[in-house]
Chains A and B, each alone.
Chain A
């Protein structure tokens, strides 16, 4: 079993939809949680960075962490075709710099 599980998709939604992307993990020591967006032929771009449990909002993006369920989510409101990309979750513990990544979810937002 992988430490971090993420549905690879692809997830196809119409423009304007609310998108929900999720990851589950097994290591209860993870405290830092990140979402990266990766466009084709580009490196991962940091979208959201949260510590421990709770919600964080930045524009159209909301990150949620539920440590009791070992489950994190990224919500995208009013999705745009420019949001079409692969979304990677990543996490690490207090005592480590090593990021553990999910396999990424491909998102396609149709005009």
Chain B
């Protein structure tokens, strides 16, 4: 399976600031996704990162808060904007290498907002 690298692995940020998380894959993949895992809870899909076009957001998530880029088939970024303590969470990138293939995950970015 693809090797997925996320940066940073963790960060502590001030309220009101923004942070961009990077996801790099060692091979071209068809689909890239961003998930959130809040403390003690399961994973929730934020959006699908579409190569060359705007991301597709799930209900409850908006582009102004979570802008996403995907300039090519191996790289994507998620920005968490105007952060508040409620944004403290683990943000995970996942990839799907083809139709009917399972998703594989990076190790996540652990974000704490003070």
Seen from chain A, the residues whose Cβ lies within 8 Å of a Cβ on chain B are 32, 34, 36, 41-46, 49, 51, 88, 90, 97-99, 101-104
Contacts and interface: CB of A to CB of B under 8 A. Distances in A.
Interface residues of B, number: 23
A19 to B, nearest CB: 20
B107 interface: yes
Contacts of A45: 105
Given A51-B100, A97-B33, A97-B48, 16 more contacts: A36-B105, A41-B110, A43-B92, A43-B107, A46-B1, A46-B104, A49-B102, A88-B42, A88-B43, A97-B96, A98-B45, A98-B58, A99-B103, A101-B44, A102-B42, A104-B42
Contacts, number: 46
A42 B42 contact: no
Given A97-B48, A97-B96, A44 B102 contact: no
B42 A103 contact: yes
Interface in B71-111: 92, 96, 100, 102-108, 110
Contact of B107 (A42, A97, A99, A102): A42
B49 to A, nearest CB: 12
Contacts of B53: none
Contact of A44 (B31, B43, B48, B58): B43
